[in-house]
């Protein structure tokens, strides 16, 4: 683990450093391009901090191991890319249902299937949100710089602990594999999971405003029943009852929904008087932001909007922007965030610059802006 | 000595259990509880992990320890996270044959290779009981099940040989007819460092029994007559097949943490 | 904005050269820097390259269309970017590795591999070429490169690499 200071490093390394700074207790993973540097770095550095590193037989097992470890009271994480994320979605649902805090890093690559392993893509945005089965909500963050790879990893752990839920760091190869300066600050604010009081009996229900129940650990002597089946507040299973299913699934959803204002975050620039707002995220948002600056310098009324937290989406703000301006969504996939943005701003209002395989230059997006504004 | 009633009250929640009359799963539960009781291990120091199936219910909801009731076939990798997370815990996996070597077979092999300190109890009833009696990787050649109505065109496998080859440090097989031996074996497994694998041939009167019109008792009788503690032609061998010492994963990982200058969190 | 592309063949240390250059500009000189590396199935078949983009303000350009400087360590890499040859400001070529050299004015040939061989380590040809760059690119401080080498290169190769850097610089001074 590096000391506080300024470093010139790759996004994946910054992510690994962020995890250690957040207090990572166990990492389990399986190699895959373009995410492997995270595990390479942790294999060496994590034990020195007292954390456990383990390479599993596949991503199904990796996701399972971090879930098991979280119940021993540790902060846990895995890192993968699309093919591995597909395998993780089964147990991601289990972690959600059992309210197990953990962090899943997906350094997205160009899919579908094996696609192009070293090339960036953001085609997993919908999968991060809907990939597992059943009704659920997910928190997913979208970094666009090496600094954010560090900061958002810490933030992912904080959300996971605060809301007792798995969190996806939805990076992409465009950021994972570039080197930039980043700062490890002297002081980092960390959130730790709510621990139960001696008399607490319900670890799977909460009437608190944030809907988050306290979380004990295995070995505390509480005879825990942790199950992916529908369960009551005390953990006992109810395989058929209406009330239990309704109360549990709605609360889990409310945990994210009702805390939305605490979770969502975006960057925007000169949106209010803009005729056109460029919406972008992840590595693509860098040249997109550059193109917006260039357009403005040439006198065009263009704004910039970037969700930092991609799920839950900044729905309301997008809707507001969509009523006043045209929208140009720039993304590294055909279907990434498109349906969500379209849902918020309406399809009449929306233009798309979608690109596959690699990032465009600023100029390429600038030309697209001019085209749309003509 | 603890009475049967006291044992049940101490170790089993939600009585009576929902297992069918004559089901062997409750007997395994009983045996596990006795083993823990006689070793004097505190319930708070045990974590039981299971997947999905009738066998999985043995630990969740019934066993009164910390339980993690996971997804189908994935009990072992979850259990690895628990054990590596806190190696002071005794981690027990109870898994059906389908769960353990069907959908979860790859995890089993690698857990044996790692020789992680788990006690894995595989309840083998020869088919997928919970979902209606479909053919499993343990179903014998030619057997009829609901998905092999013309006889199993495939072959059942001897899981003890696989886990032995994969490197488990302790491997054995018993049946629900051999309750005393089974309890002793679970006790041994709980103390044995490394991966302990116990296969328990367990009667499922509802699924296996039905087609042959066998009751639970008939099936126990069958286990009695068709097993042998020494290899014998035409009989299933029971007993302890492997008992070796090999470095164990959690110890190794903790050792590396300490050697690199860290202190396990 | 400074845009440099370093291209070579797997094993020639092209990416390392990019890292040293990026580190010098970012940490040593306080630039905002983005450094990328090629890294694809193509790498396995050979071509490897690294781009360095630096500016005094935030760098949002993550890809180079036309580099200012191209450092070329391998024939096939040059062939792959032939269209850029005339457009870039300056082309620095390891003349021991590259033979089919285009006929342009904006070009410097350095027998970098031979210089490296004389230093007892053919692997430092990449750093010889960086030494040349440090002479030609006024914004790049020679000392920052030296410091970067000390931070990035394993201790036992440090001296060797610094020598290589000096040799490259000298060569360019006399060119
Ligand atoms: C991924 C997945 N596939 C299928 C199922 C359905 N399922 C539930 S239990 C079971 C079979 C369990 O068989 P076994 O492990 O032998 O346990 P038994 O019921 O025989 O004790 C299956 C296929 C499931 N729950 N999850
Ligand atoms: S179906 Fe078979 S295994 Fe399941 S509870 Fe009934 S008897 Fe036991
Ligand atoms: Mg079965």
Last residue of a domain, which of A184, A201, A226?
A: A184
Residue of A nearest to B11 (CA): A223
Give the ligand with the smallest distance to the CA of A93: 1
CB contact, 8 Å: C65 with chain A?
Answer: yes
- Nearest-Cα distance to chain A for C37, in Å, is 7
Which residues on A lie below 8 Å from B166 (Cβ)?
A: none
Per-residue pLDDT at B213: 84
Residue of A nearest to C60 (CA): A286
* CA separation, residue A156 to residues A137, A167, B131, B142 (Å): 15, 6, 38, 53
pLDDT, average across residues C65-75: 95
Per-residue pLDDT at C47: 84
CB contact, 8 Å: A123 with chain C?
Answer: no
Contact A12, A41 (CB under 8 A): yes
Ligand 2 pocket test, pick from B52, B205, B214 with the greatest ligand atom count within 8 Å of Cβ, gives B205
CA angle centred on C131, ends C127 and C136, rounded to 5°? 140
Interface TM-score (ipTM) > 0.95: yes
Nearest by CB to A52, from B42, B76, B253: name it: B253
Domain check: are A63 and A158 in the same one? Answer: yes
- Nearest-Cα distance to chain C for A363, in Å, is 9
Per-residue pLDDT at B211: 74
Domain check: are A269 and A180 in the same one? Answer: no
Alpha carbons within 13 A on the beta-carbon side of C7: 24
Last residue of a domain, which of A129, A158, A184?
A: A184
Closest CA to C88 of C164, C4, C1, C26: C4
Domain count for chain A: 2
Residues of chain C by 3-state class (helix, strand, coil), percent to 5: 45, 20, 30
B30-39: pLDDT as tens digits: 999 999 999 9
Per-residue pLDDT at C39: 60
Q: Which of A81-85, A87-91, B122-126, C44-48 has the lowest mean pLDDT?
A: C44-48
Touch of B by C (3+ CB pairs closer than 8 Å): no
Tokens of B224: 């009695």
Sign of CA dihedral C153, C156, C157, C160: positive
Minimal-distance CA residue to ligand 1 atom 22: B131
Minimal-distance CA residue to ligand 1 atom 9: B53
Length of chain A: 374
Closest CA to A288 of A359, A240, A347, A338: A359
Helix axes B25-39, B4-11, angle to 10 degrees: 90
Report the greatest alpha carbon distance in chain A: 68
Give the single-character DSSP code of A177: T
A51's CB contacts (< 8 A; 6+ apart) are: A20, A24, A25, A26, A27, A42, B257, B262, B265
Domain check: are A163 and A269 in the same one? Answer: no
Tokens of A172: 């992409």
The answer to whether the Cβ–Cβ distance between A174 and C19 falls below 8 Å is: no
Which H or E run includes A302? strand A302-307
The answer to whether the Cβ–Cβ distance between B77 and A54 falls below 8 Å is: no
Which H or E run includes C32? strand C32-37
- Among the atoms of ligand 1, which is closest to the Cα of residue B124? 16
Q: Is C131 helix (H, G, I), strand (E, B) or coil?
A: helix
- Among the atoms of ligand 2, which is closest to the Cα of residue B208? 2
Domain check: are A178 and A269 in the same one? Answer: no
Per-residue pLDDT at C42: 47
Torsion of CA A361, A362, A363, A369, to 10 degrees: 120
Per-chain mean pLDDT for chain C:
93
Contact B91, B117 (CB under 8 A): yes
Which chains are adjacent to chain B, needing at least 3 Cβ pairs under 8 Å? Answer: A
Distance A60 CA to ligand 1 centre (A): 17
Residue of A nearest to C58 (CA): A290
Nearest by CB to A227, from B69, B110, B263: name it: B69
Per-residue pLDDT at C38: 81
Residue C61 lies in domain: 2-172
Chain B window 95-114: which residues touch A at a Cβ cutoff of 8 Å? 106-107, 109-110
pLDDT, average across residues C3-20: 93
Tokens of C39: 């890294």
Per-residue pLDDT at C138: 94
Sign of CA dihedral A318, A321, A322, A325: negative
Q: Are strands C69-72 and C2-9 parallel, antiparallel or unpaired?
A: parallel
Torsion of CA B200, B202, B208, B213, to 10 degrees: 140
Touch of A by B (3+ CB pairs closer than 8 Å): yes
The answer to whether the Cβ–Cβ distance between B262 and A48 falls below 8 Å is: yes
Selected residue of C62, C64, C150 to mutate for chain A interface (largest A Cβ count, 10 A): C62
Domain count for chain C: 1
CATH number at residue C60: 3.40.920.10
Q: What is the CATH number of domain B20-254?
A: 3.40.50.970
Which chains are adjacent to chain C, needing at least 3 Cβ pairs under 8 Å? Answer: A
A125-138: pLDDT as tens digits: 999 999 999 999 99
Q: Is the pLDDT of residue A12 over 90?
A: yes
For chain B, how big is the Rg over CA atoms in Å? 18
Q: Is the pLDDT of residue C43 over 70?
A: no
Give the ligand with the smallest distance to the CA of B23: 2
C136's CB contacts (< 8 A; 6+ apart) are: C69, C90, C92, C108, C172
Give the ligand with the smallest distance to the CA of A89: 1
Distance B61 CA to ligand 1 centre (A): 16
Domain check: are A29 and A163 in the same one? Answer: yes
* CA separation, residue A157 to residues A126, A153, A355, B117, C164 (Å): 21, 6, 31, 29, 45
pLDDT band, residue A75 (cuts 50/70/90): very high
Per-residue pLDDT at C11: 84
Which residues on C lie below 8 Å from A2 (Cβ)?
A: none
Nearest by CB to A50, from B66, B76, B263: name it: B263
CB contact, 8 Å: B69 with chain A?
Answer: yes
pLDDT, average across residues A54-72: 98
CB contact, 8 Å: B84 with chain A?
Answer: yes
* Ligand 2 binding site (Cβ under 6 Å of any ligand atom): B 19-20, 23, 25, 54, 125, 129-130, 204-207
Nearest by CB to A174, from C32, C39, C62: name it: C62
Selected residue of B85, B90, B92, B255 to mutate for chain A interface (largest A Cβ count, 10 A): B85
> CA–CA separation, B165 vs B181, rounded Å?
24
pLDDT band, residue C41 (cuts 50/70/90): very low
- Nearest-Cα distance to chain C for A145, in Å, is 10
Contact C142, C132 (CB under 8 A): no
Tokens of A229: 């089946």
B68-96: pLDDT as tens digits: 999 999 999 999 999 999 999 999 999 99
The answer to whether the Cβ–Cβ distance between A91 and B84 falls below 8 Å is: no
- Nearest-Cα distance to chain B for A87, in Å, is 12
Nearest by CB to C61, from A7, A179, A290: name it: A290
Domain for residue A259, yes or no? Answer: no
B35-60: pLDDT as tens digits: 999 999 999 999 999 999 999 999 99
Cβ B97 under 6 angstroms from ligand 1:
yes
A161-177: pLDDT as tens digits: 999 999 999 999 999 99
Torsion of CA A248, A249, A255, A261, to 10 degrees: -150
pLDDT band, residue C45 (cuts 50/70/90): low
> CA–CA separation, B113 vs B109, rounded Å?
6
User: If 0-12 CB within 10 Å is exposed, 13-18 middle and 19+ buried, where does residue B264 land?
Assistant: middle
Q: How many CB pairs under 8 A join A and B?
A: 162
Sign of CA dihedral B20, B22, B23, B25: positive
């Amino acid at each position: 683990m590096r000391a506080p200071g300024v470093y010139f490093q790759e996004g994946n390394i910054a992510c690994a450093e962020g995890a250690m700074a957040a207090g990572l207790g166990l990492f389990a993973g399986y190699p895959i391009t373009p995410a492997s540097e995270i595990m390479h770095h942790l294999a060496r550095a994590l034990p020195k901090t007292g954390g456990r590193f383990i390479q599993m037989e596949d991503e199904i097992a990796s996701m399972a191991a971090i879930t098991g470890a979280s119940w021993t009271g540790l902060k846990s994480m895995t890192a993968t890319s699309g093919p591995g994320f597909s395998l993780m979605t089964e147990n991601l649902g289990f972690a959600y249902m059992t309210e197990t805090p953990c962090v899943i890093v997906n350094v997205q690559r160009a899919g579908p299937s094996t696609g192009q392993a070293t090339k960036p893509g953001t085609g997993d945005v919908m999968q991060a949100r809907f990939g597992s089965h059943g009704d659920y909500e997910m928190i997913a963050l979208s970094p666009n710089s090496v600094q954010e790879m560090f900061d958002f990893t810490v933030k992912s752990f904080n959300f996971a602990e605060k809301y007792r839920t798995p969190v996806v760091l939805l990076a992409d190869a465009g950021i994972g594999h570039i080197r930039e300066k980043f700062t490890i600050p002297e002081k980092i604010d960390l959130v730790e999971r709510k621990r139960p009081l001696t008399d607490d009996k319900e670890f799977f229900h909460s009437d608190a405003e944030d809907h988050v129940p306290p979380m004990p650990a295995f070995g505390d002597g509480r005879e825990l029943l942790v199950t992916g089946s529908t369960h009551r507040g005390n953990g006992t299973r109810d395989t058929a009852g209406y009330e239990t299913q309704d109360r549990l699934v709605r609360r889990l959803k409310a945990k994210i929904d009702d805390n939305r204002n605490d979770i969502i975050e975006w960057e925007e620039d000169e949106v209010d008087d803009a005729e056109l707002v460029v919406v972008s995220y992840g590595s693509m948002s860098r040249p997109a932001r550059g193109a917006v600056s260039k357009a403005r310098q040439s006198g065009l009324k263009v704004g910039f909007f970037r969700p930092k937290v991609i799920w839950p989406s900044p729905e309301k703000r997008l809707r507001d922007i969509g009523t006043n301006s045209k929208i140009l969504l720039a993304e590294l996939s055909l279907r990434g965030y498109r349906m969500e943005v379209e849902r918020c701003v309406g399809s009449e209002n929306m233009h798309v610059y979608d690109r596959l395989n690699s990032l465009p230059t600023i100029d390429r997006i600038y030309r697209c802006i001019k085209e749309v504004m003509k | 000595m603890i009475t049967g009633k006291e044992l049940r009250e101490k170790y089993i929640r939600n009585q009576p259990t929902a297992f069918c009359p004559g089901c062997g799963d409750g007997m395994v539960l009983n045996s596990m509880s006795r083993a823990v009781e006689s070793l004097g291990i505190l319930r708070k120091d045990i974590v039981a992990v299971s997947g999905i199936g009738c066998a999985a219910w043995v630990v969740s909801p019934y066993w009164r320890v910390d339980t993690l009731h996971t997804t189908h076939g994935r009990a072992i990798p979850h259990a690895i996270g628990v054990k590596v997370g806190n190696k002071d815990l005794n981690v027990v996996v109870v898994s059906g044959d389908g769960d353990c070597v069907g959908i979860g077979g790859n995890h089993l092999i690698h857990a044996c290779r790692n020789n992680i300190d788990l006690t894995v109890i595989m309840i083998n009833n020869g088919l997928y009981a919970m979902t209606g009696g479909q053919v499993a990787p343990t179903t014998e050649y030619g057997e009829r099940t609901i998905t092999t109505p013309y006889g199993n065109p495939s072959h059942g496998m001897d899981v003890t040989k696989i886990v032995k080859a994969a490197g488990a440090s302790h491997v054995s097989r018993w049946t629900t007819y051999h309750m005393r031996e089974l309890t002793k074996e679970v006790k041994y497994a709980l103390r044995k460092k490394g991966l302990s694998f116990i296969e328990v041939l367990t009667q499922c009167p509802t699924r296996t029994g039905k087609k042959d019109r066998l009751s639970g008792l008939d099936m126990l009788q069958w286990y009695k007559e068709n097993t042998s503690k020494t290899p014998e032609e035409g009989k299933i061998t029971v007993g302890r097949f492997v008992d070796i010492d090999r470095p164990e994963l959690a110890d190794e990982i903790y050792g590396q943490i300490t050697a690199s200058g860290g202190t396990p969190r | 904005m400074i845009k440099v592309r370093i291209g070579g063949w797997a094993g020639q240390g092209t990416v390392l050269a990019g890292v040293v250059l990026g580190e010098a500009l970012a940490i040593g000189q306080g630039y905002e820097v983005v450094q990328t590396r090629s890294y694809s199935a193509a790498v396995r078949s050979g071509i490897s390259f690294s781009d360095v983009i630096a500016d005094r303000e935030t760098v949002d350009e993550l890809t180079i269309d036309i580099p200012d400087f191209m450092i070329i360590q391998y024939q096939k890499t040059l062939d792959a970017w032939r269209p850029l040859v005339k457009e870039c400001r300056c082309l620095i070529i390891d003349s021991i590795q590259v033979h089919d050299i285009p006929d342009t004015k904006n070009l410097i040939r350095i027998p970098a591999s031979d210089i490296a061989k004389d230093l007892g380590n053919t692997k430092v040809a990449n750093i010889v070429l960086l030494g040349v760059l440090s002479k030609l690119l006024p914004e790049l401080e020679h000392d920052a490169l030296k410091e970067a080498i000390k931070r990035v290169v394993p201790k036992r190769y440090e001296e060797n690499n610094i020598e290589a850097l000096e040799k490259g610089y000298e060569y360019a001074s006399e060119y």
